[in-house]
Structure 1
């Protein structure tokens, strides 16, 4: 269980004393690295009874073409660039803001696939 809260130490280096136990609503989850491959998803229940769809792998993206003003389902070939982490492009990890090579050309991912269960992108037209 990952818990996100205040720091364990004061600025002097002294440890804080725990004043209560960890709460369910403070729970964090492991980060999901979305890769290229045959579609694999997992539906998880989140706070308030809602659901998030974890996307582990997918080989297609919904690519918006600005000049034609339409959305086309395109196959993902590789990850060209990813500013979230220096090694994500090498490992083909898709996150928001990643530049992906599709069958239509280069596109930038505009959503968070690990939390939304789908890959949406906008075609980069030079």
Structure 2
């Protein structure tokens, strides 16, 4: 984990005195980078008495259609606006276009934060 607090130096390079001590809520983590594959999850501590479920890899998506939501199997990542390399590496993030057995769909959830893939069909 990396501390995400204020820099010790100002823009001009002068030393800044600390505003407060380091706090656990100010730490950050590396991105999860959910891939297409057998379902694997990891739970991490969140702020308060909460937990986040992170999807390390998944092969199912809840796809919203005109008839209602359907559980579809993810086959491939067609395109990912976040990073062109993510599509090649089959990494799913919010906004990625995935190929499912129900058709092409755009991801509306954040699998690395929510632990599930929700998507809407793309015409």
TM-score by length of 1: 0.89
Residues 87-110 of structure 1, C-alpha deviations (whole Å, 9 max, x = no match): 111111000010001111110000
Q: Pick from 78, 81, 88 the counterpart of residue 80 of structure 1.
A: 78
**How large is the Cα RMSD of the aligned pairs?**
1.5
Tell me which protein shows more helix as a share of its residues: 2
Give, in angstroms, the shift of residue 60 of structure 1.
0.7
Q: How does 1:2-13 map to 2 (within 5 A)?
A: 2-13=2-13
Task: Name the structure 2 match of 1:104.
Answer: 102
Distance 1:84 1:15 in 2: 35
Q: Where does the alignment leave 5 or more consecutive residues of structure 1 unmatched?
A: none
Paired residues in the alignment total 123
Distance 1:93 1:81 in 2: 10
- SS of aligned partner of 1:31: coil
Residues 42-89 of structure 1, C-alpha deviations (whole Å, 9 max, x = no match): 122211111100100001101011x32x11111111111111112111
TM-score by length of 2: 0.91
Q: How does 1:1-126 map to 2 (within 5 A)?
A: 1-18=1-18, 20-65=20-65, 67-68=66-67, 70-125=68-123
Give, in angstroms, the shift of residue 29 of structure 1.
1.6
